[in-house]
Amino acid sequence: MTLVGRILVFVITILALVFLGVSTVVFTTATNWKEAKDAETKKVNDLQSKTQTLTLQVEQAKKEFADAQASHKAALKQQEDIVAALESKIKQAQDEITTSRAALESAQQNAKLALEDSSARKQETELLREQKSAVEKQANDFKIRQTELNDQIRELSRMLETATNNANDLRDRVARFSTLLRRNGLSDDITGLKGLENPPTVQGEVARVDAQNRSVELTIGSDDGLVAGHELFLYRVKPQPDFLGKIKIISVDPDQSVGRVIGATINGKKIKEGDIVSSTIRPRS
């Protein structure tokens, strides 16, 4: 029962007691006023006591009601504060959710990019692994080739040592041969010896003849490929073709040379300036 209902019950009870007292007074007055008066007085006292008790109870009920109202207001204020705090927390939570959602989307995007980058790096790693395998295989091939080359180097070193010894021996032999050739009045120039093996195709003229008709100075020399030891044919073409003999080159300069008649000229013919020398034109047999 509510506090208002209790108060109404108390008021009704008091009114009932009052009516009861009035009726009792009327009844006692009709029978025995004094006894009734005493009895009613006692009843009134009892009723007053009860009324006082009920008044105290009503005051206590009012106080409790006021306390209940204050407590209710305080509780309501506390509940409102709690609701406001909860609403603030909910808003904060919603903001955090929004931030978290944005962070999650960013993280998902970053994760996607990281996954793509990881895939690319994985492919790159596979490629590097293949390249590493190829390089290792090539390195092994190089090691094998290096071993073979080292063997070849050792073999070539032995051959070089043998060749060096042979070269030193040949150098000593060449020096002895050169000394022997110079002692016998021969040239030891190897280029001249090589030139003798392949005589050039040349043609020149007699520039001068000595008094003994033995030596001639020619208009061709080493620039034309002549070396000491070459043999040339000597002839003239005017006033009529006439073969004179052969000469041997005994010294050369870049643009001239000196030759000596081999044996003697044909029928002792005199050599003249302007006569022709050649390495290719042969006399008629």
Closest C-alpha among 215, 256, 253, 254 to residue 234:
215
Q: Where are the alpha helices (DSSP H) in 184-199?
A: 190-197
SS3 call for 271:
coil
Q: Where are the alpha helices (DSSP H) in 184-241?
A: 190-197
pLDDT at 213: 92
What CA–CA distances, in Å, run from 16 to 6, 10, 24, 51, 141? 15, 10, 12, 12, 127
C-alpha count within 13 angstroms, C-beta hemisphere, residue 76: 6
Burial readout 19-57 (b: 16 or more C-beta within 10 A, e: otherwise): eeeeeebeebeeeeeeebeeebeebbeebeeebeebeee
Per-residue pLDDT of 72-103, as tens digits, reads 888 888 888 888 888 888 898 889 899 888 88
SS3 call for 181:
helix
Most confident listed range (12-16, 76-80, 86-90, 273-277): 273-277
Closest C-alpha among 13, 112, 106 to residue 58:
13
Which residues make Cβ contacts (< 8 Å) with residue 73, sequence separation at least 6?
A: none
Weakest mean pLDDT among 35-49, 53-67, 90-104, 171-185: 171-185
Provide the pairing of β-strand 276-278 with 215-218.
unpaired
Query: Is 274's pLDDT higher than 90?
Result: yes
pTM: 0.36
Cα–chain center distance at 79? 66
What distance in Å separates the CA atoms of residue 71 and residue 203, rounded to the nearest whole number? Answer: 147
Which residues make Cβ contacts (< 8 Å) with residue 27, sequence separation at least 6?
A: 36
Weakest mean pLDDT among 80-84, 130-134, 189-193: 189-193
Provide the pairing of β-strand 231-236 with 215-218.
unpaired
CA angle 108, 109, 111 (to 5 degrees): 60
Q: Residue 205 has what DSSP assignment?
A: E
Note if the bond before 199 is cis, omega within 30 degrees. Answer: no
pLDDT at 285: 47
Query: Is 197's pLDDT higher than 90?
Result: no
- Which two three-digit tokens encode residue 95? 């903001």
Q: Mean pLDDT, to the nearest integer, of 1-28?
A: 79
CA angle 232, 210, 270 (to 5 degrees): 65
Q: Mean pLDDT, to the nearest integer, of 174-192?
A: 64
Answer for the pair 25, 40: CB distance below 8 angstroms, yes or no.
Answer: yes
Answer for the pair 195, 231: CB distance below 8 angstroms, yes or no.
Answer: no
Per-residue pLDDT of 231-255, as tens digits, reads 999 999 888 889 999 999 999 999 9
